Amino acid sequence: MGCRHATVLSASADVVWNALRNFHDLSWSPNVIEKLTPVGDRGASEVGAGRILNDAFHETLRGLDDTNRCLTYSIDDGPGPLEKGKVGGYLGEVTVIPVTAPANSGQCVVLWTSKWESEEGGVQDFCDPIYNALLNDMKAHFG
């Protein structure tokens, strides 16, 4: 199972990527993220970095690819259908893609996907509004 969300931003892929690659900073999303607590001793752009969002979502940075402007993360525990034991293998991926036509438009597309395994269901209904709100905040912040 999984979900897929995207938005077009009026900012360059480099500007957006430089903000998103910092796993310990979601200040661009003030309407969704009220609190971010770094966990562990890994730096914000090191694989293995951990964070807790809003005292509820426990996440770990699993991959960071500067060449392809892509990061992957796991949700290790969370509220409702994301609770440990109810969902497994939750992996999110955020990719920043430059818009190439028209050339030098200064725009990019952010693609946010996720996949998971769950016998109980309800994960997509729970997560879709969150991803939409994150992308709306991103659009407000970056243009």
Residues 36-74 pLDDT 10s: 999 999 999 999 999 999 999 999 999 999 999 999 999
Residue 91 structure tokens: 């992996």
Q: Give the tens place of pLDDT for each residue, 65-119.
A: 999 999 999 999 999 999 999 999 999 999 999 998 888 889 999 999 999 998 8
The angle formed by the CA atoms of residues 5, 136 and 90, to the nearest 5 degrees, is 40
Q: Which residues are CB-neighbours of 129 under 8 A, at least 6 positions away?
A: none
Q: Crossing angle, helix 123-142 and helix 13-20, to 10 degrees?
A: 120
139 Cα distance to chain centroid: 14
Q: What is the pLDDT of residue 66?
A: 98
pLDDT of residue 105: 86
Angle subtended at Cα 98 by Cα 97 and Cα 101, rounded to the nearest 5 degrees: 125
| Mean pLDDT within 11-34 | 97
